[in-house]
Amino acid sequence: SFQELEKILNQIDGKGYKAYKELQGQYQWSNFTLSIDYVQGDPFASPSRIRVIVPGEKGGFPSELYNTPYKRRAVIDFLSRTVAKNISRIYHHVGGSGKSGLISIGYCGQEILERNYIVIDQNRVEARLEVGLPAAGRRILGKEAKYIFLVAIPKIVETSLFFNAISKESLFSQVKLVEDQYFLRQELKRRKLVAFVANGSILPRESGVSQRPMVKGAVPFQSPKEYEIEIQLPNYGPIKGMGLPQGVTLIVGGGFHGKSTLLQALELGVYDHILGDGREYLVTRENAVKIKAENGRYVEKVNISPFINNLPMGQDTVRFSTENASGSTSQAANIMEALEIGTDLLLIDEDTSATNFMIRDGRMQQLVQKEKEPITPFIDRVRTLYEEKGVSTVLVIGGSGDYFEVADHIIMMDEYTPRDVTQRAQEIIKGIQNPRKIEAVSTVQENPPRILLKSTFSMGKRGVKIKPRGIHQITFNKTDIDLRDLEQLIDPNQTNTICFMLQYIMERVVNDKMALKEVVEKVYKDVIEKGLDVVSPYKGHPGNMALPRKYEIACTLNRFRNLKIK
Ligand code: ADP
Ligand code: MG
């Protein structure tokens, strides 16, 4: 009981930090259980992990709120944010050395992701928290610890984990919002669209380092008449906006008119967004992939031959490997790896592409013969990708009209507002003879299965240590995995989950027989069926996780400089 906890805290007050280990265990309070699962070794180490568990009947959440995966996701996300808000509202942070006095729950940004910070089912509502056990230097501050466990945490539990204590209205509106976004994404497939952007959406962000909406001076999105459709949402009702059809779509327009902003919004439309984000009713096919040039990346046995062939010195491009890819080879590898996992929408921006990968105009064709140019530019592949593989492309390009000939739809951004210019561009093509010749008609051969080898995960003397460093970097023992260019990886706990998944793959999945794609699918399937916790190496509080897409898991393996493919 809590009396025991209080007794221990009285006893260890003023002692060395290690005495905190005695706290490990479970304590009963009138309406919840406190489980101290892991006690940190010193005040500067990662904080201690605890859980608070309210019995289901006491919590009182109706099961209709969590009886489908997307509703459960919405509720878990909502309660996580509620806990975070109540911590900052109620708790007066106690001081001390290192992480002393910290109380937190996993991070929630603008997206409503599948998370494990809360568990909700018939039997319980459970929140997973981190606590920095307070100390002065390395001496235990017992009084402060008592305030945390006996006062602050019970208050946080009372105000956050009981149905009658929280804002039902906000909870329901989040569940409804997710239901609508879920419906919209299904609707894309039914209507053969790749994206939907509701009128009134706010696309620009506050700044380059913030995902919050721009507050002042944002021009709300307004669909061109030619693409405007109306969709009946289950909760919101009828909504109008731009339905972007499958095929090859160009976004053209002068510099600074909002092209990249639109594309970036589409990239993140693979996720659901919270109320007030400005992108609540902007959805993209969930397997859409941003493709960039990524100078210097590692590539292991990828078939880039549809784009690059006849390299100097007879280098193999069917099983192409390099420690240091060029702009164009990296972009080719990125596309082929995306196809391998099964994307049906590529999102490409000229700002982050290799020029020689994207274009090769008529004059250059005359000067440099095809035999002397290993690159088959994207312009000569983009139609085949759609017509043979059903893979659509949305391409931002302000600098080359050659693409008019291969596009189904052309949209011009004009002072942040899209206009349909497809017809006008067609007329221009007719009027001017283009000396450019199409250079490839053959099909795009995909990667043969790439068998992932166990030797990828070679261990150091002390086993393996896989650690996230923010969102965009992982260290595997001493090897860095650079994820800087994965714009659709957006939450530090997605990265944490990928770390756990790498360990899970290494220990439980890889067998020298499965292809990289199959390995990724296996771990993903396990997580979908059994929950995120299945990949955690910890007992009790499993560590904070948010679900990444399959694609980002594959991307991590593909960028791992120890990756070995048979
Ligand atoms: P482009 O790619 O066409 O050069 P960007 O998308 O980079 O243009 O946008 C240029 C600037 O305009 C950015 O600072 C962006 O935040 C701002 N911006 C984009 N869309 C809007 C909008 N709808 N309302 C207000 N500002 C916008
Ligand atoms: Mg741009």
Q: Is 416 in the pocket of ligand 1 (CB under 6 A)?
A: yes
CA dihedral 97, 102, 106, 112 (to 10 degrees): -130
Please give the helix or strand (H or E) that residue 174 lies within, else none: helix 168-190
Judged against a pLDDT cut of 80, whether residue 440 lies above it is answered with: no
Q: Are 5 and 29 in contact (CB under 8 A)?
A: no
**Residue identifier of the C-alpha nearest atom 20 of ligand 1:** 258
* Rounded distance between C-alpha atoms, residue 226 and residue 230, angstroms: 12
Angle between helices 516-530 and 550-559 in degrees, nearest 10: 140
Regarding the beta carbon of 204 and ligand 1, being less than 6 Å apart is answered yes
Residues 72, 82: contact at Cβ < 8 Å?
Answer: no
CA of 115 to the centre of ligand 1 (A): 32
Cα–ligand 1 centroid distance for 256 (angstroms): 6
Quick one: 318 exposed, middle or buried, by C-beta within 10 A (0-12, 13-18, 19+)?
middle
Burial (0-12, 13-18, 19+ Cβ within 10 Å), 210: exposed
Query: Distance, CA 395 to ligand 1 centroid (Å)?
Result: 16
Q: Which atom of ligand 1 is nearest to the CA of 263?
A: 6
Residues 263-287: what's their mean pLDDT?
A: 98
User: In angstroms, rounded to a whole number, what is the distance separating the alpha carbons of residues 210 and 87?
Assistant: 23
Instruction: From the CA of 254, give the closest atom in ligand 1.
Output: 3
Q: Give the distance (Å) from ligand 1 centre to CA of residue 204.
A: 6
Q: Whose CA is nearest to atom 14 of ligand 1?
A: 256
Contact 203 CB / ligand 1 (< 6 Å) = yes
Cβ neighbors of 25 (< 8 A, separation 6 or more) are 35, 36
> Beta-carbon neighbour count of residue 88 at 10 Å?
10
Indicate if the alpha-carbon torsion angle 105, 111, 116, 122 is positive or negative.
positive
Q: How far is the CA of 259 from the centre of ligand 2 (A)?
A: 6
**Ligand 1 proximity of 256 Cβ (cutoff 6 Å):** yes
Tokens 């003023």, located at residue: 14
Position 460 pLDDT exceeds 90: no
Q: Whose CA is nearest to atom 1 of ligand 1?
A: 256
Atom number, ligand 1, closest to the C-alpha of residue 220: 23
Cα of 57 to ligand 1 centre, how many Å? 50
d(CA 343, CA 249): 16
Residue 81 clears pLDDT 80, i.e. is over it = yes
Residue 543 and residue 493: Cα distance in Å, rounded? 9
Rounded to a whole number, what is the largest CA-CA distance in the chain? 89
Closest ligand to C-alpha of residue 279 is 1
Q: Whose CA is nearest to atom 26 of ligand 1?
A: 218
306 lines ligand 1 (CB under 6 A): no
For residue 65, give the DSSP letter: G
Counting Cα atoms < 13 Å in the Cβ hemisphere of 224 gives 17
Probe residue for ligand 1, chosen from 205, 250, 261 as the CB with the greatest number of ligand atoms within 8 Å: 261
Beta strands 466-468; 417-420: pairing state:
unpaired
Q: Residues 177, 275: contact at Cβ < 8 Å?
A: yes
* Residue carrying the six token digits 């349909």: 420
Compute the distance from residue 418 Cα to the ligand 1 centre, in Å: 12
Using one digit for the tens of pLDDT, what is the confidence trace for 174-229? 999 999 999 999 999 999 999 999 999 999 999 989 999 999 999 999 999 999 99
Q: Which atom of ligand 1 is nearest to the CA of 257?
A: 3
Which atom in ligand 1 lies closest to the alpha carbon of residue 416? 23
Q: Find the range with the poorest average confidence among 302-306, 329-333, 441-445.
A: 441-445
| CA 200–ligand 1 middle distance (angstroms) | 16
- Tens digit of each residue's pLDDT (9 = 90 or more) over 131-141: 999 999 999 99
Ligand nearest to the CA of 261: 1
Alpha carbon of 117 to ligand 1 centroid (Å): 35
Say what percent of the chain tops pLDDT 90: 92
DSSP assignments along 472-497, one per residue: SEEEETTEEEE-TT-TT---HHHHHH
Indicate the top mutation candidate among 205, 206, 256 to test ligand 1's pocket, ranked by most ligand atoms within 8 A of CB.
Answer: 256
Q: How many angstroms is it from 395 CA to the middle of ligand 2? A: 11
Ligand 2: centre distance to CA 200 (Å): 21
Hey, which bits of 350-396 come out as E strands?
A: 392-396
Query: Residue 548 and residue 559: Cα distance in Å, rounded?
Result: 16
pLDDT given for residue 463 in this prediction: 87
| pLDDT of 264 | 97
Q: Please report which confidence band the pLDDT of residue 441 belongs to, taking 50, 70 and 90 as the band edges.
A: low
Give me the chain's average pLDDT, please: 96
Distance 85 CA to ligand 2 centre (A): 36
Identify which of 57, 54, 62, 50 has the alpha carbon closest to the alpha carbon of residue 30: 54
Atom 16, ligand 1: which residue's CA is nearest? Answer: 204
Closest CA to 466 of 503, 424, 419: 503
- Residue 7's CB is within 10 A of a number of other CB atoms, namely 11
Buried b (16+ CB within 10 A) or exposed e, 469-501: eebbebebbeeebbbebbbbbbbbbbbbbbbbb
Cβ proximity of 161 and 125 under 8 Å = yes
* Helix H or strand E encompassing 239: strand 237-245
pLDDT interval class at 479 (50, 70, 90): very high
For 138, list phi and psi in degrees, rounded to 5. -115, 15
Q: Is 260 in the pocket of ligand 1 (CB under 6 A)?
A: yes
Which residues line ion ligand 2, judged by CB < 5 Å? 260, 351
Listed in order, strand segments (DSSP E) in 366-416 are 392-396, 409-414
pLDDT confidence bin for 307, thresholds 50/70/90: very high
Question: Does any ligand 1 atom lie closer than 6 A to the CB of residue 257?
Answer: yes
What single string gives the DSSP state of each residue in 335-363? HHHHHHHT-SEEEEEGGGS-HHHH---HH
The minimum-distance atom of ligand 1 relative to the CA of 202 is 23
pLDDT tens figures, 357-385: 999 999 999 999 988 899 999 999 999 99
Statement: residue 434 has pLDDT above 90: no
Answer yes or no: are the C-beta atoms of 559 and 297 closer than 8 Å.
yes
Helix (H), strand (E), coil (C) string for 283-297: EECCCEEEECCCCCC
Q: Can you give the length of the chain in residues? A: 566
- In whole angstroms, give the CA distance from residue 527 to residue 547: 9
Q: What is the C-alpha to C-alpha distance for residues 283 and 270, in angstroms, rounded to an integer?
A: 6
Q: Which atom of ligand 1 is nearest to the CA of 264?
A: 6
Which residue reads 């981190």 in tokens?
130
DSSP H helix total and E strand total for the chain: 15, 25
> Does residue 151 register a pLDDT over 80?
yes
The radius of gyration of the chain from alpha carbons, rounded to an integer in Å, stands at 26
Q: Which ligand lies nearest the alpha carbon of 258?
A: 1
Distance CA 149, CA 9 (A): 10
Given the CA of residue 203, which atom of ligand 1 is nearest to it? 23
Outline where DSSP puts E strands in 101-227. 103-104, 118-120, 124-131, 135-136, 139-140, 193-198, 205-207, 210-213
